[in-house]
Amino acid sequence: MGYRQLTQAQRYQISAFLSVGWSQRKIAREIDCHSSTISRELRRNGSLNEYEPAEAGRLSGHRRKSAHKSHKRAPSLIDWVTKQIQSEWSPDQVAGFMRRVGSIQVSHQWIYNLIYRDRIAGGDLWKYCRLPCQRRYQRHLAKRAGLGKIPDRVGIEHRPKAVDDRLHIGHWEGDTILHGHKNSGAVTLVERRSGYLLADCVPKLKAGLVSKVIIRELRPIRGAIQTLTLDNGSEFADHQTFSEALSLKSYFCDPYRSSQRGTNENTNGLLRQYFPKGTDFAKVSRKAIRQAVNRLNNRPRKRLGYRTPAEVFWGEYSGGLDTSGAALNT
């Protein structure tokens, strides 16, 4: 969901919902915007104890009228920012320092764009950035090359809002852990409410092989599957096959928004404890990955009140088991 300015009507809605005790997240869902938009609005245009929509609209209008955009192309500003990046400051550090000293302000996103334009023009400013920043522009190039297209892709914006609440089991996230450039890997599937993990290896990260693993892992518990949220890797291009086989609905995150599959990303990090980067999954036995998965599923989690993912999942799953599929990770 992209950022857009709030209307005055929405400001009156925010005021009304706040008066009856609604949370910022609930208000955002109701007026169809991101929760960060509500947080930003209250921080900028509200006071410590109240939010007055008419005053908020006046403050917002004044801020927009007094904003000066021309300075952002000034050569002196670009030169100064460039020197700080070459001194290995991050874009966030540059923007934060400018805010602190009260000078001309630019956002960290503007600085990222400056670095990207410099790279497209043949510059080397990106090389002074830390690895995450470098990857950011590798992703830009991948997107320009048209990589990762998924046929009949349904975006996460169409996923039922109830999935966000994690109140019921049945909503899963899927990803792959790679060895090299898709030479081999592991398919990981994590249930959002419980954190319960299923995983298996594939010798090649091809769509057909990944689809077979997903069907094999989820078929025995298909009564506990309603949705599966995936990233945009081409290995999930065969999503229609496993969606039909398992009677589930597949959704895809926005490009490069791994935070929309936060449970899966965090669990992949835990699995890396057993299979560090550089592991050739073509040489990992099914027994070895099952043992690692079982350990994670039976490790207490703080967010679950120190219950284990297995306790929460099997405690709430009332569906019958299909024993024709793969062995379950219990």
For residue 34, the domain's CATH number is 1.10.10
What pLDDT does residue 131 have?
54
Shared-domain flag, residues 167 and 258: yes
Same domain, 245 and 114: no
**What span, in angstroms and rounded, lies between the C-alpha atoms of 265 and 176?**
10
Q: Which residue range forms the structural domain that includes residue 76?
A: 70-144
- pLDDT for 143 equals 47
Q: Is there a single domain that holds both residue 193 and residue 306?
A: yes
Residue 24: inside a domain: yes
As to burial, measured by CB atoms within 10 angstroms (0-12 exposed, 13-18 middle, 19+ buried), residue 81 is: buried
Q: What is the pLDDT of residues 158-210, one digit of tens each?
A: 999 999 999 999 999 999 998 866 678 999 999 999 999 999 999 998 999 99
Q: Is 299 found in the same domain as 228?
A: yes
| Structural domain total, the chain | 3
Round to whole Å and give the CA distance between 208 and 200: 14
Q: List CB contacts of 215: < 8 A, sequence separation 6 or more.
A: 241, 242, 245, 246
Question: Is 326 part of any domain?
Answer: no
Query: Are residue 243 and residue 306 in the same domain, yes or no?
Result: yes
Beta bridge partners, 172, equal: 191, 228
Q: Return phi, psi of residue 216, to 5°.
A: -65, -40
Asked whether residue 284 falls in the same domain as residue 261, the answer is yes
In this structure, the answer to whether residues 211 and 165 fall within a common structural domain is yes
What is the pLDDT, as a whole number, of residue 146? 38
Q: What is the pLDDT of residue 283?
A: 93
Residue 228 lies in a domain: yes
pLDDT of residue 145: 37
Q: Which of 47, 66, 85 is the last residue of a domain?
A: 66
pLDDT at 40: 87
Strand, coil or helix: 51: coil
User: How high is the pLDDT of residue 62?
Assistant: 75
Supply 296's token pair: 């994670």
Do 310 and 168 sit in the same domain of this protein?
A: yes
What is the model's pLDDT at position 321?
41
For the stretch 315-328, pLDDT in tens is 998 654 443 333 34
160 and 293, same domain (yes or no): yes
**Is 235 part of a structural domain of the chain?**
yes
Number of H helices, E strands in the chain: 13, 5
pLDDT < 70 stretches in the chain: 1-4, 48-49, 64-73, 103, 130-148, 180-182, 318-330
Domain final residue pick, 97, 124, 144: 144
Together in a domain, 59 and 77: no
Structure tokens at 176: 């792959």
97 with 230, same domain: the answer is no
Statement to judge: residues 182 and 50 lie in one domain: no
Q: Which of 186, 183, 166 is nearest to 174 (CA)?
A: 186
- pTM for this predicted structure: 0.56
